[in-house]
Amino acid sequence: MTEGHDVNDRARQLVEAAAQLFEAGVMSHSGHANLSARLDADRFLLTPGFVRGLRPEQLATVGLDGQLLAGELRSVSAEIITMHSLVYRARPEVGAIIHTHSPSATAFAVAHRPLPCRTEPMLRFGQPEEVPVVPWGPRGSDVSVRGIAKVLEERATTSAVLLANHGLLVFGPDSAATAHLVVAIEESAEAEIAAAAIGGAVDFPEGALAAVRASIARVSA
Ligand SMILES: [Zn+2]
């Protein structure tokens, strides 16, 4: 496969993942999100500052050092480059990153409440542990970026973080899997909030999370 084909495939997959988020109803009213997909050790594709009606040729190519290599970014997107590149640097296995303001997940972020893993989709689709909260800092600021880096270090196996007073950041092997996990997390957050009205969500039986984590580790080994 030539490099051109590979880039086109990843761009197409990323645009499909963005459309999937709208279809699944996990976007906030504003439709705000940014998505990226790794191209290689040094570069990734990034949405240009909007995702609604996005076409593959509108994606920008950005270096892990923060340099814009091809395409155009709206100025708001320049601020989020660091948020994406730091995850790619910290997690070499990560192939795609999605940031949204999904309403129920954002409720947890606003309440500074970690989201426990208490639903089957979250357990199965890549987050068999709670989603931790990263302390607030202005978007793209040193405080925010250092906060994310610290939580990624402390929680070596988490595939998502809640950005306090802001939203959700999810990462996975590719665009499709990452979009699935965004949906699973939003669904879980919604179920947690609904369950609170009828007595509260209940944990999985003891050992369930550990067993699933172990089987995931076996499959990916
Ligand atoms: Zn945001």
- By 3-state DSSP, what share of the chain in percent is helix, strand and coil, each rounded to 5? 45, 15, 40
State the burial class of residue 76 (Cβ atoms within 10 Å of its Cβ: 0-12, 13-18, 19+). middle
Provide the pLDDT for residue 3.
66
pTM of the model: 0.93
- How many Å lie between the centroid of ligand 1 and the Cα of residue 212? 31
What confidence tens digit (pLDDT) does each residue in 137-172 have? 887 778 888 999 999 999 999 999 999 999 999 999
- How many Å lie between the centroid of ligand 1 and the Cα of residue 51? 13
Query: In which residue ranges of the chain is pLDDT below 70?
Result: 1-3, 220-221
At residue 109, what is the residue type?
A: A
What confidence tens digit (pLDDT) does each residue in 14-37 have? 999 999 999 999 999 999 999 999
CATH code (residue 112):
3.40.225.10
- How many Å lie between the centroid of ligand 1 and the Cα of residue 76? 10
- Non-local CB neighbours of 9 within 8 Å, separated by 6+ positions: none
CA separation for the pair 199, 181 (Å, rounded)? 26
- How many Å lie between the centroid of ligand 1 and the Cα of residue 205? 34
Provide the pLDDT for residue 1.
46
Query: Looking at the 3D structure of the chain, how many domains does it have?
Result: 1
Domain housing 85: 3-220
- How many Å lie between the centroid of ligand 1 and the Cα of residue 217? 31
- Residue spans of beta strands (DSSP E) within 82-205: 96-100, 133-134, 160-163, 167-172
